[in-house]
Amino acid sequence: MKVAVVGATGLVGTVMLKVLEERNFPVTTLIPVASEKSVGKKITFKGKEYPIVSMTDAISMKPAVAIFSAGGGTSRDWAPKFAEVGTVVIDNSSQWRMFPEIPLVVPEVNASVLTPNHKIIANPNCSTIQLVVAINPLHKKYKIKRLIVSTYQSVTGTGVKAVKQMHDERAGKEADRAYPHPIDMNCFPHGGTFLENGYTTEEQKLVDETRKIIGDSSIMVSATVVRIPVVGGHSESVNIEFHKDFKLDEVNQTLKSSAGITIQDTPSQNIYPMPKYAEGKDDVFVGRVRRDDSQPNSLNLWCVSDNLRKGAATNAIQIAEYLNSKGWIK
């Protein structure tokens, strides 16, 4: 199977290569794609060197699947060209997510929407992925009426420049800023760009993508995105109001038995999810599960996940694994 990774030298692209190797995805020929200045350089995958190629060369090789993590503009211009030669594109940018005809997929939640005819598949935003993994089992049981989500997002969600800014600030060096403010010893409620309604693009993604993936446009969602100085993953405080009442022990059992979730919820022993310990792992870690006593049918939980893995690379490769299990890519 020929597999292209577009954006192979970037922060997410390098994790994609690592996850493909770890999960032993059946790659026979790797086609790493990056910017023109990187063409000809080599990367190592499973002990073998592969030269980085251009977009046009990659398309001419007709890969079975192309996993994109190269920004929305690149995906807009090039994903259709891959699709035209029969390649299935799994795109990590925001470019295609809200097109009605393009599936937006988290395999544990809605892989069933995929068909052999889909040639472009959207990978959701990192904070949305972990959210829907955590809440969808509860939605199926109690039906969600309203969500209030506050995120505490790692600098890795912004990219290499943001990580370097934080480390330079921590070392007392002059930093080339990816953010409008210092990030070390700080946090700020600003992810993406501000919209006319006062929310940011990152907050709006949580609203729109959650409804699309779960398949229920009636769910009311309010989000606040906060950037914090960590590299391990994203954390979310989630308040859920259900249409139906629930028993807390049933909630816990539902979460424990759901794919992709690890429960860490023994507060008396200081056990709860933290980004430091989610880093490098693929599950969504859930804890601090408790009833919201301020109103009926309401629950609080805290979830953490590695935004580069389940929030990006792993989810994309799980989509490819699903397609391969169906015999839809060869």
Q: What is the pLDDT of residue 152?
A: 98
**What does the pLDDT average to over 263-279?**
97
d(CA 280, CA 266): 22
pLDDT band at 330 (very low <50, low <70, confident <90, very high): confident
CATH number among 3.20.20.70, 3.40.50.300, 3.40.1260.10, 3.40.50.720, domain 2-124+312-325: 3.40.50.720
CB 213 within 8 A of CB 124: yes
Q: What is the pLDDT of residue 316?
A: 98
pLDDT band at 36 (very low <50, low <70, confident <90, very high): confident
303 part of the active site? no
Written as one letter, the residue type at 235 is: S
The closest alpha carbon to 279, from 299, 308, 257, 252, belongs to 308
d(CA 77, CA 124): 19
> Tell me: the pLDDT tens digits for 95-132?
999 999 999 999 999 999 999 999 999 999 999 999 99
The closest alpha carbon to 196, from 206, 204, 188, belongs to 204
**What does the pLDDT average to over 133-159?**
97
Domain residue extents for the chain: 2-124+312-325, 127-307
**What does the pLDDT average to over 160-180?**
93
The encoded tokens of residue 218 equal: 């009636």
CB 121 within 8 A of CB 102: yes
Q: Which of 118, 126, 139, 303 is catalytic?
A: 126
190 part of the active site? no
Q: Which of 118, 139, 234, 303 is catalytic?
A: 234
Superfamily of domain 127-307: Dihydrodipicolinate Reductase; domain 2 (3.30.360.10)
**Phi, psi of 291, rounded to the nearest 5 degrees:** -70, 140
The encoded tokens of residue 236 equal: 């979310």
pTM of this structure:
0.96
d(CA 47, CA 155): 30
d(CA 154, CA 48): 32
Instruction: Please give the biggest Cα pair distance in the chain.
Output: 61
